[in-house]
Structure 1
Amino acid sequence: MPPLVTPGGGEATAGEINHLLVRLASCDSDEVHPAVLAARDRWTAASRALFAAALFDRWVTAGTPASDTWCMHAVGLIGDDAGARRIAAHAKQWAGGNASARAQTALDTLRHRGTDAALIELSLLAERSRFPVFKSRARQHIEAIADLGGLTSDELADRLVPALGLVDGGDVLPTAKGDFRIVFDHRLRPVLRDATGEVHADLPRGSDKKRLTALRKEARASASLHVARLERAMCTERRIPAGIFLDRFAGHPWMTHLAQRLIWGVLAGDTLTGTVRVAEDGTLADLDDEPVTLPSTAAVVILHPLNFPAGTLGVWGQVFADYELLQPFAQLDRPVHRFGPGFFDPFAGRKTSYPVLRGLERNGWTRWYDAAVQMAKPLGGGAWAVLQTDPGWHASDTVDSAPPQTVRELTMVRGGGVTFGDLPPVTFSELIHDLRILTSPDAP
C-alpha cells in the first residue's frame, strides 16, 4: 500500500496502518469511527488519497466482494474528489448491471465525502441515471442533504455548480502562437479566442490539448444538466435570491456563460420591478443597456414569455439579435398557450413512443403506476396531470420492448376540485408545450 505520511514527513508504521484498516472496516453508512476522523488530521490529504485509491483498486481487482464494501467507503472517508469521481463512474455501470446494491452503496460513499465535487457527482446521478430505483435513491440523498441546509434540491444544485477549473487564470491556454482564452458558444461548448478577438474551434497544431479536451468533456456533462434545470426553473417560476444569483450565476466562471443568454426578472416581494440581462463582464444591464445594481433583498426569476412587461419581449429579442446571442432553450421565442374548451382535442389519438414519453422526464414528468404505467406531472397544490396512452407499458419494459403508444386522455387527479382552467397561466401553457413536443412529427 502507498505510505501514509504526516505533515512532517514521517510514515505510518505497519501497526498504525492495520489499526486504521480495522477502524475503516468497522464504519458503515450511518456511523464513522472516531479513529477514522482522527486519521484525516494526522496524515496528509495527498497520502490519504493515494492510500484510499489503492484500497479501492484492490477491492475492484478482487471482484468487489460484498463483505468488503468498506474499501469503497474509505474513498469517501479519507480519499479525495478524484476518488469520488471514480466512484461515480463505477456507480453508473453498476446501476445498469446486476449490482444495484453496490451502486447504492456508492451513493453512500459520495454522501460521506460531502464536498461540493462529490455532491455534484451525486446530483448528476440523481438527474441523469436511466435506472429508476437508483435514480430515486440518489434523489433521496440529495433531498436529505438539502433538507439539512434548509434548502430545496434545486436550491442546493444552485450552490453545486462546478467551476471547471476556469478560476485564477484557468481560462487562459498559453501556446507558441500566443495565449488563447476559453469562451463558450451558444451550445456552451468551449471555443477559443485569440488576442485579436477572433474565435477558433481548436488550438494551433502542436499545442498541448489535454486541458481543452478534458474541459470539453466536463462542459458537455454540466451543460446538459444545468440547461435542463434552468428551463424547469423558468417553467415553475422559481425564485433565486439576489446573493445566490450574483455569486453562482452572474459572477460564476462557468454559469455566467449560461446566464448571459437569458432574460431575468427582478422581484421585490411579488412585484416585478424590472428585467435585466447579464453582460459579458458579469454585470447587469437593463433594456436600454444601462447598468443595474441588484438590491440585496431582491429575487430574480428566469422570465417566462407570459410574464414579460407589455412591449418588452420583442425589444429584448432585438437586443439579443444585435449582440448575436443565441439562447440555450426557447425563452424569447417560446410559444405560449392559453386555456380554452377542447384544448386537448388536437392531441387525442396522436401517435407517440416510449422513448418520447420518457423524454418528458426532462420537463418534470414522472412515471405513474396504475394498471399500466403512464406519465404524470405535478401541477402544484398536490394536483397531478396524468397522461393516459394505449396500451401503456410495464415497469420492466425498455426502449426495445415497449409497444408504440397512442395518446388517449389527460386527467387531473388529487386536485381538490381544481380544473385545468384554474391553473396558473404559465403552468397550463407549459403543459400544452409538453404535449406539443410529445406529438410532434419531429420527436425522436
Structure 2
Amino acid sequence: MTPIHLRGGAGALPPEAVRHVMTMLAISKPGDPYAGLAVVKEACDGRSLADFAWALFQRWQAAGYPSRESWVMDAQALLGDDETVRRLTPLIRAWPGEGGHARAVTGLDLLASIGSEVALMHLHGIAEKVKFSGLKNRAKLKMDEVAAELGLTPQELADRLVPDFGLSADGSLTLDYGRRQFVVGFDEQLKPYVADASGKRLKNLPKPGANDDPELAPAAYRRFAGLKKDVRSVAGDAIHRLEQAMVNRRRWSAGDFGRLLVGHPLLWHIVRRLVWGLYDPSGELRGTLRVAEDRSFADVEDDTLTLPEDALVGVVHPLELGEDLAAWSEVLADYEILQPFPQLGRETYGLDPALVAELEAAKIPTRAVIGLERRGWRRGAPQDAGWQGWIERDVPGGGTITIGLDPGISIGYLDFADEQTLVGLELDGLDPITTSEILRELRDITR
C-alpha cells in the first residue's frame, strides 16, 4: 500500500496501523466519520493521507467500482485535498457517459464535502459546462444549496470561488529554484507564461537542473504544473461569466467591484482589459472607466477617476457607448490592450425583418442548437417520447423568449435529425441590447 507518513518526518505507519486506518474509513459514514480519524489526521501528514486515499480509489476503480466497497469514495472526502479534486473532477465529468450517473452525483457531494475554494470552483465548473444535462442540473442544485447556506446568489458565490492561487498583489508568482528565479504572468485569456529574471518570456518553465536547489526547484516545478491545471479550469468560466454579465447587465457595488474583481490577483488581468460603466439605481449609464496598471481608474480622456462609494459598476455593452465607442477603441489600441472577449468590437444587430427571415430560413445543425445551452438557452420540457420542440431563454426583467424547432430534438437520440429550422422568431418588445444579443447568438449558429 501507499505509505502513510507521520508529521515532521517521523517515519511511516506500520502495516498493522494502516489496516486500522482502512477499517476506520470503512466504518465511517458521510457526515459522521469514525472519531479515531481525527487522531490519525492530527498525527499524519495530510498530503500523505490524501495520496493513500487516492491509491485506495485507484484499486477500487481497477476492480470495477464494486458497490459493497463504496466507502472508498467517501474516504476521498474524509482525507482528500485539492489534488484529489483535480484528479477526481475529470472522472466525475466522464462517468455519466459510462453508465455511472449515480457515481458522478456522489462525486458532486464529495466535492461539496471537501469544500475548499478549489473544490467549489470545480463544482461550479461542472454546473456551468458539462455535456450531461442531468449531472449539470444536479451540480447547479448543489451550488444553489451552498450559496443559500452562505446567504448569496449563485453568481455572488461564483465571484468568491476564484482562488488567488498564492499570487502576489500584482497578479504574478515567483518560482524559486535557488540559484534561479522565474516569474509567472498571465495574458488576456488567463493563460500563464513564464519569464526569466531579465523579463524574457520562455516557451516553457525549465525543468530543475543539477545546480538548482534539490528541494526548492522540484517544489516550484510541481507548483507551476498545478497552477496551470487550476487556472485552465477557472479561466474559461471567469471570462464567460463576465461576458454574460455584460449581456445580462449584472451590476456590482463599488465595494464588491474593488474587492472581488479589481483586487483579485488573477481576475484583475481580465478586468483591466474591459471598459466598465458607472450606473445609477435605475440602470442609466452615468460614466465609463477602465482599470489602469496600478489599479487606479481612468476615464476615456485618460484622466484619473474616483469611484463613488454608492456607484453600481458593470461591463458596459457597446450599444450603450454611442460616440465614445470609437474613443475607447482608440484608448485600448494605444495601450495595446487585447480584450478577453468581444466587447468594443462586438457585432451588434437591430430588429431587421430581413435578418429574421434569413434566420428562420436557415438549416442549423442540431448540435449547434444544443450548443446554445452554453449561452443560457434551455431546451423545452420533454413531450411524448422525449421530444423537445422548442428552445427558450430568460431575458433581463424576468421574461422568457421561446423559439420553436422543426423537427425538434429527441432526448437520448440526438442524431434523430441532423438539422433544425427556427420557428416563430418573435423579438418585438425586447430592449435593444437583448435583441442584439439574441440575434448575434442565432446568427453565430447559422454560419
Please tell me the TM-score bracket, short chain as reference: 0.7 to 0.9
Spell out, residue by residue over 1:153-204, the C-alpha distance to the aligned partner (whole angstroms, 9 max, x if none).
Answer: 2211111113344338962346799754333333332234456655554457
Tell me the equivalent position of 1:431. Answer: 438
Tell me the equivalent position of 1:35. Answer: 35
Tell me the equivalent position of 2:142. Answer: 141
Q: What is the CA distance between 1:376 and its match in structure 2?
A: 1.7
Equivalent residue runs for 1:354-369 within 5 Å: 354-369=366-381
CA contact (8 A) 1:24 1:36 kept: no
Spell out, residue by residue over 1:326-371, the C-alpha distance to the aligned partner (whole angstroms, 9 max, x if none).
Answer: 2121111223333466762221110110221122122111221345
Q: What is the CA distance between 1:295 and its match in structure 2?
A: 3.8
2:235 corresponds to 1:219 = no
Report the more deviating stretch, 94-103 or 279-288. Answer: 279-288
Judged with a 3 Å threshold, the aligned counterparts in structure 2 of structure 1 residues 19 and 204 are, in CA distance, closer, same or farther, namely closer
Higher helix share: 2
The 2-side partners of 1:244 and 1:163 are apart by 16
The 1-side partners of 2:329 and 2:351 are apart by 26
Spell out, residue by residue over 1:393-442, the C-alpha distance to the aligned partner (whole angstroms, 9 max, x if none).
Answer: 211124xx242324231357xxxxxxx332233222211111111212xx
Equivalent residue runs for 1:327-406 within 5 Å: 327-339=339-351, 344-371=356-383, 372-373=387-388, 374-380=390-396, 383-398=399-414, 401-406=415-420
Equivalent residue runs for 1:228-377 within 5 Å: 228-270=240-282, 271-308=284-321, 310-339=322-351, 344-371=356-383, 372-373=387-388, 374-377=390-393
2:407 corresponds to 1:407 = no
The 1-side partners of 2:382 and 2:29 are apart by 37
Q: What is the CA distance between 1:118 and its match in structure 2?
A: 0.7
Amino acid at match of 1:281: D
Spell out, residue by residue over 1:205-260, the C-alpha distance to the aligned partner (whole angstroms, 9 max, x if none).
Answer: 98787665554444333222222121111100011233332233212221111111
Q: What is the CA distance between 1:6 and its match in structure 2?
A: 6.8
CA contact (8 A) 1:267 1:300 kept: yes
Tell me the equivalent position of 1:416. Answer: none
SS at match of 1:151: coil
What is the TM-score when the length of structure 1 is the normalising length? Answer: 0.84
SS at match of 1:386: strand
Tell me the equivalent position of 1:417. Answer: none
Q: What is the CA distance between 1:82 and its match in structure 2?
A: 1.2
Amino acid at match of 2:366: Y
The 2-side partners of 1:72 and 1:93 are apart by 16
Judged with a 3 Å threshold, the aligned counterparts in structure 2 of structure 1 residues 376 and 315 are, in CA distance, closer, same or farther, namely same
CA contact (8 A) 2:246 2:315 kept: yes
The 2-side partners of 1:172 and 1:11 are apart by 33
The 1-side partners of 2:96 and 2:178 are apart by 45
Judged with a 3 Å threshold, the aligned counterparts in structure 2 of structure 1 residues 204 and 61 are, in CA distance, closer, same or farther, namely closer
CA contact (8 A) 1:234 1:301 kept: yes
Q: What is the CA distance between 1:149 and its match in structure 2?
A: 1.5
Report the more deviating stretch, 297-306 or 214-223. Answer: 214-223
CA contact (8 A) 2:193 2:202 kept: yes
The 2-side partners of 1:6 and 1:406 are apart by 61
Tell me the equivalent position of 2:88. Answer: 87
What is the TM-score when the length of structure 2 is the normalising length? Answer: 0.83
The 2-side partners of 1:346 and 1:38 are apart by 65
Judged with a 3 Å threshold, the aligned counterparts in structure 2 of structure 1 residues 129 and 395 are, in CA distance, closer, same or farther, namely same
Report the more deviating stretch, 72-81 or 211-220. Answer: 211-220
The 2-side partners of 1:39 and 1:427 are apart by 57
The 2-side partners of 1:154 and 1:358 are apart by 23
Equivalent residue runs for 1:187-226 within 5 Å: 187-193=189-195, 199-202=201-204, 214-226=226-238
Q: What is the CA distance between 1:115 and its match in structure 2?
A: 1.1
SS at match of 1:375: strand
Equivalent residue runs for 1:124-203 within 5 Å: 124-167=125-168, 171-173=173-175, 179-193=181-195, 199-202=201-204
Tell me the equivalent position of 2:106. Answer: 105
Amino acid at match of 1:357: V
The 2-side partners of 1:74 and 1:211 are apart by 25
CA contact (8 A) 1:183 1:192 kept: yes
CA contact (8 A) 2:359 2:442 kept: yes
Report the more deviating stretch, 268-277 or 310-319. Answer: 268-277
The 2-side partners of 1:202 and 1:14 are apart by 41
The 1-side partners of 2:40 and 2:395 are apart by 46
SS at match of 1:49: helix
CA contact (8 A) 1:36 1:77 kept: no
Judged with a 3 Å threshold, the aligned counterparts in structure 2 of structure 1 residues 383 and 54 are, in CA distance, closer, same or farther, namely same
Q: What is the CA distance between 1:37 and its match in structure 2?
A: 7.8
The 2-side partners of 1:173 and 1:6 are apart by 25
Amino acid at match of 1:187: Q
SS at match of 2:293: coil
Judged with a 3 Å threshold, the aligned counterparts in structure 2 of structure 1 residues 174 and 288 are, in CA distance, closer, same or farther, namely farther
CA contact (8 A) 2:406 2:423 kept: no
The 2-side partners of 1:111 and 1:286 are apart by 42
Amino acid at match of 1:76: A
